[in-house]
Chain A
Amino acid sequence: MEQSKLMFYTMFHPLQGFEEIKLNKKGSIRLSILILAVWFLSAILDRKVTGFIFNTYQIDKLNILTLLPGTVVIFSIWVISNWGFCTLLDGEGSFKEIWIVSAYALVPYIIFSLATVFLSNFLTLEGGVFLTWIFQFGKYWSIILIFLGLYEMHQYTLKKTLWSIMLTILGILIIIFLALLVFSLYNQVIVFFRTIYSEIIFRL
């Protein structure tokens, strides 16, 4: 209860809130996992519950596993990448702190995208502009929060925070690239062994 109070407090007073997390270790891993779960849920709702006018997806066809990479997986990669780079760049934030801060910073984004989903059921096509505004507002709020959170966690200057975020994005790209590479290599290895197997089966 107290932790969720801190979460909402951080939304409006980011510097004080993050300081609380950093110095007094008030952040909660459990809450951050809950936030991620809600994010994933909101992604599903976005596909399923968005009003007919604004839903561009095929409602009758949804594999929720395909929504995982866009939410939870990319979040994990973000945290890993940021932790990796900032450890090298004398950042003071631990893995746990980065995780918590990133998750807490997502709260406005999630709230506003849920609001978009809700409102989309009541607006006409002409009102769609408001939805975009609301959604964008939440997005930029979260971006600012993430920025300030990392600034606070790593005890960087503003300029260095910006640099570290750019490097983190680069790191994400590298990780995705490597993951795809490993995936395709393993795929080929599997195909290779399967071919050998079927070859032997045919000879016998």
Chain B
Amino acid sequence: MRRIKIKFMFMLVFIFSILMHVQVYADVPYNGYTYDAYGRSVPTAISYEPDKYLTGDDIGVGALKSPQDMFVSDKNEIYILDSGNKRIVILDENFKVKKVIDKIVTEKGEVTELKNPNGIFVTGDKVIYIADTENARVISINEEGKIQRTYTKPTSPLFPQNIDFKPKKVIVDKSDDVYVIVDGVYQGAVMYDKDSNFTGFYGTNKVELDTKMFGEYFWKTFIMTKEQRRSTIRYVPTSFTNFFMDKDGFAYVCSKYDTSKSNVLKKLNSMGDNILRPSKKVLGYGDLETARYVGNEIKTSLIDVSVDGEGFINVLDNTRGRIFQYDQDSNLIAIFGGKSNQVGTFNSPAAIINLKDKVLVLDNKRGDITIYGLTEFGQYIHKAVKLYNDGLYEDSMEPWKEVLKRDSKLEIAHMAIGKALLKTGDYKGAMKAFKLGYDVKDYSKAYGQYMAQIVRKYLSLIVGSLIAIYVVWMVIRRYKKITNKKSMDKENLYGAE
């Protein structure tokens, strides 16, 4: 009887422990983690959690059918490209329907249909650009659905004529130049001027030579037969998967996993040069650790990028359904999302966009939008990063300390605190913080300052003692000389005697 009682007690404890475990993690269906300086994943607190989850029925426009892209205009209106239903749904910032464009009319007044469109962009004066993929065109329409301009396959010999023209994504800059990502075009984004003339390519990804490629080149040229060579993969630059234009007119482009992991995300200026300047050496974007599954390496493949008003860069990884957030110095800020069927994870994520500090992710298989908001931890990080990136290192101390209360190992927090201490002249404290933040360059700087400080502090002492020794030595020598002379005089004296 007693034994049964004990057993029962144990069982109760066991069940309770399971229940409590579930309670702790039930609100978010993913684990918070980040990558340390060595590229190893380490657990951290969760900085984004799903606030809301919207289907087409929730919005009130009927189910969305494989929606492919989203856009948030500068007036915070959300444009959803509902590809399967051949329409565009426009919501206001509270997710209420503002307008649905389901009829598109050409300049001549004929009705035309979208066919599997993949990209949408809206300019400041509400001109909507759509990459109408299967129709091989990019169109710009006004809010009534009337086509303003059509951009088609360039006839220029510069453009590869042997491929089907399949525009995937489109962005437009301030001077109404249109940039289009076309499937199979690896020269870069196709560029049109505002009169829909082809003007060239933008932001080419370069093939970077590495030892593996060199070895394969050797193998191909000297060992393989012509037939074998023909069937091997050619090294061409990876084409962009998506891009985004921020409010300052810089284009952020992402590409699928490449040989060089740090090149999958770029910030391009108008010349097409990468101006993303990481503060530390960047090991890569997206998941740094890869898994193997049935002999295949499961790698990150970035399919969308979005930058919010504060400059936080969000990229969406299609492989694992995760969102990675970076600041302008390429420091990893947050990782969230995942693949499953719970709220906060995705089946097949397609597009990501920012609405103020919220992150919206579109799932094209489920046809829904997940809206993420910052947790307390995330809010502190954002506040701190903002102050830090503005150069207000001392002001950022307070929020960073709050962040460290919640994750005492977060490297970026230690790094930032180190910078603040360095500025205030606490070199020893800065060194300690930089060590915890694995910031070698700044540690070296702080150490140099610290050494200089020590030398300065003791310089007078050292120089003073040196002078003192010299003086004493001189005095002794003088004295000896005198005594010597005296003794010599004495000797002489005796000698003379």
Contact = CB atoms under 8 A, between A and B. Distances in A.
The answer to whether A and B come from one shared complex is yes
Interface of A: 52-53, 58, 124-126
A124 B442 CA distance: 10
Contact of A125 (B38, B444, B451): B444
Contacts of A58: 38, 40
Nearest 4 CB-CB pairs, A to B? A125-B444, A124-B448, A124-B444, A53-B444
B392 interface: no
B435 A52 contact: yes
Contacts of B444: 53, 124-126
A58 B42 CA distance: 14
B447 interface: yes
Contacts of A125: 440-441, 444-445
A124 B451 CA distance: 10
A52 B440 contact: yes
Nearest to B444: A125
A114 to B, nearest CB: 21
Contacts of B451: 124
B443 interface: yes
Contact of A124 (B40, B435, B447): B447
Contacts of B435: 52
Interface of B is mostly: helix
Contact of A53 (B38, B40, B440): B440
Nearest to A125: B444
Contacts of B38: 58
A126 B445 CA distance: 9
Interface string B435-468: 1000011011101100100000000000000000
B433 to A, nearest CB: 12
Contacts of A126: 444, 448
Interface residues of B, number: 11
A58 to B, nearest CB: 5
B442 to A, nearest CB: 10
A124 B441 CA distance: 9
B468 to A, nearest CB: 27
A53 B435 CA distance: 9
Nearest to B441: A125
Contacts of A124: 444-445, 447-448, 451
Q: Which of B40, B443, B444, B448 has the most CB of A within 10 A?
A: B444
Given A53-B440, A125-B441, 16 more contacts: A52-B435, A52-B440, A53-B443, A53-B447, A58-B38, A58-B40, A124-B444, A124-B445, A124-B447, A124-B448, A124-B451, A125-B440, A125-B444, A125-B445, A126-B444, A126-B448
A53 B440 CA distance: 5
A198 to B, nearest CB: 21
10 contacts: A52-B435, A52-B443, A53-B440, A53-B443, A58-B38, A124-B445, A124-B451, A125-B441, A125-B444, A126-B444
B39 to A, nearest CB: 10
A52 B430 CA distance: 14
A58 B443 CA distance: 17
Contacts of B447: 53, 124
A126 B440 CA distance: 12
Nearest to B442: A125
Nearest to A60: B38
Nearest to A53: B444
A124 B447 CA distance: 7
Nearest to B435: A52
A13 to B, nearest CB: 38
Interface in B224-264: none
Nearest to B38: A58
B387 to A, nearest CB: 27
A58 B40 CA distance: 10
Nearest to B37: A58
B41 to A, nearest CB: 14
A52 B450 CA distance: 15
Interface in B68-103: none
B452 to A, nearest CB: 10
A204 to B, nearest CB: 30
Contacts of A52: 435, 440, 443
A125 B40 CA distance: 25
Nearest to A122: B451
A158 B222 CA distance: 36
B35 to A, nearest CB: 13
A53 B448 CA distance: 11
A53 B445 CA distance: 10
A83 to B, nearest CB: 33
Nearest to A57: B38
A24 to B, nearest CB: 49
A52 B443 CA distance: 8
A52 B436 CA distance: 11
Contacts of A53: 440, 443-444, 447
A49 to B, nearest CB: 15
Contacts of B40: 58
Interface string B161-194: 0000000000000000000000000000000000
Nearest to A54: B440
A170 B227 CA distance: 34
A126 B444 CA distance: 8
B487 to A, nearest CB: 45
A61 to B, nearest CB: 9
Contacts of B445: 124-125
B422 to A, nearest CB: 14
A57 to B, nearest CB: 9
A58 B440 CA distance: 13
Nearest to B431: A52
Interface string B203-223: 000000000000000000000
A135 B448 CA distance: 22
